[in-house]
Amino acid sequence: MDDRLGLGDYTTGLTDRLKPGDPAKVEGSFGHFTNQYIDKLDQIWIAGGIGVAPFLSMANDITNEKVKLFYCVATPDQANSTDELEALAAKNPDFEFILWDSDSRGFLNADGFDISDFSKYAYLMCGPAGLKQSLTRQLEEKGVSDKEIYEEEFGFR
């Protein structure tokens, strides 16, 4: 099985239990994570690992928003769908895609957003708990209201 399919603790273990062709029951989607009802048009999206999944759909539907998507991975070869995201960024000047690999750049922090007015943005995050907790704390220290920080739990249960 392709190692890239085992991205998290749970999915990595699936490679030992499942073989190609095994039947599987898939349910969902269950989340309500969307930027559709967010008033602020300037948005920063932060994806960690497989947490990029909900942003793929949203990136295809950008209309009036100005979005910076930070896709955080340890190494670039761990990233999925970068070709699609780069193509979307190339055709939409209001969508900026940044692949952030922590092995060469360190962990993403709020200063990495390269913005001066943090209160101007809404922040959407989907990824590991540590990433979300760290960035939420940093954003609140910069004066961002918790009402402008949106998080999604993304994992297999």
Please write the tens of the pLDDT for every residue from 47-89. 999 899 999 989 998 888 999 999 999 999 999 999 999 999 9
Interatomic CA distance for residues 62 and 124, integer angstroms:
14
Which pLDDT score, from 0 to 100, does residue 14 have? 74
Task: Please tell me the least confidently modeled range out of 16-20, 69-73, 123-127.
Answer: 16-20
Distance from C-alpha of 59 to C-alpha of 56, rounded to nearest angstrom: 5
Arithmetic mean of pLDDT over the chain: 87
Report the CATH fold assignment for 35-152.
Rossmann fold (3.40.50)
What sign has the CA pseudo-torsion 105, 110, 115, 121?
A: positive
* Locus of tokens 């009036």: 64
Residues 6+ apart with CB under 8 A from 1: 15, 18, 19, 20
pTM exceeding 0.85: no
Q: Is the pLDDT of residue 153 over 90?
A: no
Question: From CA 107, how far away is CA 122, in angstroms rounded?
Answer: 21
34 — pLDDT class (breaks 50, 70, 90) = confident
Evaluate if residue 2 carries a pLDDT over 50: no
Q: For residues 10 and 38, what is the distance between their CA atoms, to the nearest angstrom?
A: 32
Report the pLDDT value the prediction gives residue 145, as an integer from 0 to 100. Answer: 95
The whole-angstrom distance between residue 70's C-alpha and the CA centroid of its chain comes to 7
